[in-house]
Structure 1
Amino acid sequence: MGEYGGYALLVLSALAAAVGIVAQTVAARRTEQRDAVDPGILVRLATDRVYLFGFGSQVLAFLARATLPLYIVQAGSSSAVGLAAVIGLVVLGWRVSGREIAALGVLAVGLLLLVGAAESSVAAPMPPALGFGLLAALLAVVALAFPAARIPGAPGAVAMGALAGVAFAVLALCGRPLAAGPLLELPLQPLAWLMVASALVGQALLAAALQRSSTTVAAASMDATTVVLASVLGVTVLGDQIAAGRGWWVAAGLTLVVAAVVAMAVVGRPSREQLPAPVAGVAA
């Protein structure tokens, strides 16, 4: 698969991820919200075909990592939060404030800068020290999820979303060198199992974040964390390439993406249409 194939997969991934975010939001809010870490949420969501579609849509992003650097793949994936807001607005009647739209515009500018700086490449092998570091980071995410789960509302969504972002950054870093290798050998790779574990942890935390506040708040805090961590480590450790003389484009693009995500987390408010539906036996 060449560079153009990678970009085609990235575009499809962003579109699929946008539909997936909406699907995951709808599905996650059908489940009971609990003020504690609840691994069983994945078991309950696994029976929801809408949620499974959202989960499966992320496979395209994994394949795009075979030839494209992480800073463009993760930035492209993060654009799904804006697409999801548009889909929710048009299809489900979600309310999106003017300030959220402005923040999404800043996000778009940041993404364009990153696209302009992108240069295709195959990742360097994962250093063993980084692999163990990623495992430690995932274990830390699990430990921090327990106190974060007690935070209600939008602040809780930001906390859970940021932790989900760390888990998905681990997934992205593991997937970058794996995507270019023989896919049939994935079960034999320790990194593949770490990637699966990080996907499960990230999905559980994202589902919890989506229960607590609007889609833009939950997904934006997740995306900002993933984009920054994966981009920096991709360039410094995995050998991701930047077009000559455009290193500042990457720095500026990442800054704008993070600023937009923080703005969405601050100004985003769950509308009545986006709040979790009451569950039998649970106070609304």
Structure 2
Amino acid sequence: MICALSSAVCIGTASVLQAVAARAAQPGTGSGVDVTLLLRALRQWRYVAGLALDLIGFVLQILALLAIPIYAVEAAQAGSLAVTAVVAARVLGIPLSRTEWGAVGVVCAGLAMLGLSSGPEGAENGPSVLPYALLGVACAVLVTGALAGRLRDPARSLVLGFGAGTGFGVVSVSVRLIDDPAPAVLFANPALYALLLGGGAAFLLFTSALQRGSVTTATAGLVIGETLGPAVVGVVWLGDRTREGLAWVAVLGFAVAVAGALTLARFGEAPVDGVADADSDAGTEAGTTR
């Protein structure tokens, strides 16, 4: 659980940096998923720093997935929005209302309940078709992103966000299905390709959502997509369980953490203008000094 919470801290901080960078990148044409947006965003130092934090967070997430149930890890990932809110309030000067501070507390309470009630990860591998199903879902995420450009907001933002969350969910479940690191076995496992395709598609869709439309709506879709599906798969097919007699605590904690995260969904979007103005002021001051 410590790894899961540390991962949430990394990802929540990265979200602020990436939201700023994605909005500052030069807009492309069209309204759907823009493949070249990632290349333009990579020219922003904030986006690169965010990716580095995401990588650290991903490693910590894998360690957590190898020890505790998927539902606990995914709720912690949704709780990264509480981290984003606090970081945005401190670094970018975005004020938090009493309701939002309350939501941060609610997320923490929900995660504490999950930490108390979650048992060890399940020992089951699920049906043999599950890795192929994950690969199919990852492909569907890409198709969904391509079709999202035909929609209008808020539907477009919701679809992009939900698709990204589903892609991240595919990654979480795929990690559990990769149990043999031997190259001959690893590269023959469809779960590996589901992980790579799902993760890449998720980054692409959410980066597009950060730049266009309502990021608040997209972030809400992300939270729903990355928590509910993997939690169900973990409990139904992978044998994830709670501690004896604490199932109700886990269910309540999961619901509370996700509800609190949804309340904080607006912090998926950072106010680029304010950051740009700050950078501009700093540059002007430096020029005056010279």
Question: Match of 1:175, as an amino acid?
Answer: V
For residue 207 of structure 2, what is the aligned residue in structure 1? 207
Confirm whether residue 39 of structure 1 aligns to residue 38 of structure 2: no
Alignment deviations for residues 149-177 of structure 1 (CA, whole Å, 9 cap, x no partner): 45566654333211111111111000123
**For residues 217 and 275 of structure 1, what CA distance do their matches in structure 2 show?**
21
Equivalent of 1:21 in 10, 15, 38:
15
**For residues 64 and 244 of structure 2, what CA distance do their matches in structure 1 show?**
22
**For residues 93 and 150 of structure 2, what CA distance do their matches in structure 1 show?**
30
Alpha carbons of 1:199 and 1:187: their partners in 2 closer, same or farther (altered >3 Å)?
Answer: same
**3-state SS of 1:242 partner:** coil
CA contact (8 A) 1:72 1:114 kept: yes
Alpha carbons of 1:274 and 1:70: their partners in 2 closer, same or farther (altered >3 Å)?
Answer: farther
Shift of 1:65: 1.0
Shift of 1:216: 5.8
Question: Match of 1:166, as an amino acid?
Answer: T
Shift of 1:90: 0.4
**3-state SS of 1:119 partner:** coil
For residue 138 of structure 2, what is the aligned residue in structure 1? 138
Equivalent of 2:6 in 5, 8, 12:
12
**For residues 33 and 43 of structure 2, what CA distance do their matches in structure 1 show?**
20
Note the 1:144-163 alignment, pairs <5 A. 144-151=144-151, 156-163=156-163
Percent of aligned pairs sharing the same letter: 27
Alignment deviations for residues 198-243 of structure 1 (CA, whole Å, 9 cap, x no partner): 1100111111222246766544431232111111111111111211
CA contact (8 A) 1:224 1:257 kept: no
Alpha carbons of 1:131 and 1:269: their partners in 2 closer, same or farther (altered >3 Å)?
Answer: closer
Alpha carbons of 1:272 and 1:192: their partners in 2 closer, same or farther (altered >3 Å)?
Answer: closer
CA contact (8 A) 1:74 1:227 kept: yes
In the alignment, structure 1 segments of 5+ residues that lack a partner are: 1-6, 279-284
Alpha carbons of 1:169 and 1:81: their partners in 2 closer, same or farther (altered >3 Å)?
Answer: same
For residue 225 of structure 1, what is the aligned residue in structure 2? 225
For residue 65 of structure 2, what is the aligned residue in structure 1? 65
Question: Match of 1:92, as an amino acid?
Answer: L
**For residues 225 and 274 of structure 2, what CA distance do their matches in structure 1 show?**
24
CA contact (8 A) 1:71 1:234 kept: yes
Question: Match of 1:225, as an amino acid?
Answer: G
For residue 235 of structure 1, what is the aligned residue in structure 2? 235
